[in-house]
Homo-oligomer: A and B are copies of this chain.
Amino acid sequence: MGLPVGRLILRRFADGEVHVQIEESIRGRDVYIIQSTCPPVNENLMELLVMIDAFHRASAVRITTILPYYGYSRQEKKATGREPISAKLVANLLTAARADRVVSVDLHTPAIQGFFDIWMDHLSALSLLTEYLRSVRRSDAVVVSPDVGRVKLADKFSRALGLPLVVLHKRRPAPELAEIGLVIGDVKDKAPIIVDDMITTGRTINESVKALLDAGAKPEVRVAVTHALLLGPALDYLKNEAITEVIVTDSIPLPKEKRLDKIRVLTLADLLAETVRRLNRNESISALFGA
């Protein structure tokens, strides 16, 4: 956007408490804070909350919190009894700190929008990712949902790219046996594109690749996700030679040691800059929405 970043001192006291000192008057200003709540998620989240409190008390007229990656987004319902709904808790905490608007990208479940009574905008990196994939499109490609929870997302990729859809799921062949990956749809001699909203430990991707190869897919697998957490064994899994390319965004900063040659990072900078520009000018941003 060509705008300087505001001056602000963010530091930790010896006991780990976050402290913020805003270095210029922001009274009556329209403030945008960009912070992914990626790991270390609790540290990043508290930093964000303390910053919002400081900006509010310094009389910002409107505080827009942009979370390119929304931590705790996978805990969006009670899977069994006596669990938290931490994604809602995060919404309540952001509201309690008095954010006025929240912007995020490719939430694990779009219904998280409804967790907020303050303004919430849900952007999508879908067109960024599919635009790139189109440039490398092959006639033998298929879009693969790595499990039953991601079929809707995979369907969007499949429609955007005009490619067939394949669904993976797991089943226990017999009560005493381990679960194995099953493939619904035809992958024989196909070049799969596994799509997901995020890679965490890479285990799902790894199992998906195995199941796909077992079912006769070509060892030329692409992986396309928005959020690259790449924790624990993820890098090792991705080094698998059957994976030829991994397309991610920079919603989470990727440290140098995680930058494999085969990982291509697409930047959200233009999307977010355009969003800030339009929000500040009260222009429509619906063209940038995910759902």
Contact = CB atoms under 8 A, between A and B. Distances in A.
Of A26, A39, A77, A95, chain B has the most CB atoms within 10 Å of the CB of A77
Nearest to A186: B184
A83 interface: yes
A14 B77 CA distance: 19
A21 B80 contact: yes
A262 interface: no
A64 to B, nearest CB: 11
Contacts of A78: 57, 110, 113, 122, 289, 291
A82 interface: yes
B81 A285 contact: yes
Contacts of A200: 13-15
Given A79-B291, A171-B159, A282-B27, A84 B41 contact: no
B59 A88 contact: no
A257 interface: no
A209 interface: no
Given A58-B81, A85-B53, A88-B114, A41 B16 contact: yes
Contacts of A145: 151
Interface string A3-34: 00000000001111111111101111100000
Interface stretch (A44-52, A188-196, A210-218, A264-272): A44-52
A283 B59 CA distance: 10
Given A53-B89, A171-B159, A82 B58 contact: yes
A206 interface: no
A167 interface: yes
A109 interface: yes
Interface in A276-291: 278-279, 282-287, 289, 291
B184 A166 contact: yes
Contacts of A166: 184
Contact of A82 (B45, B54, B155): B54
A54 B141 CA distance: 40
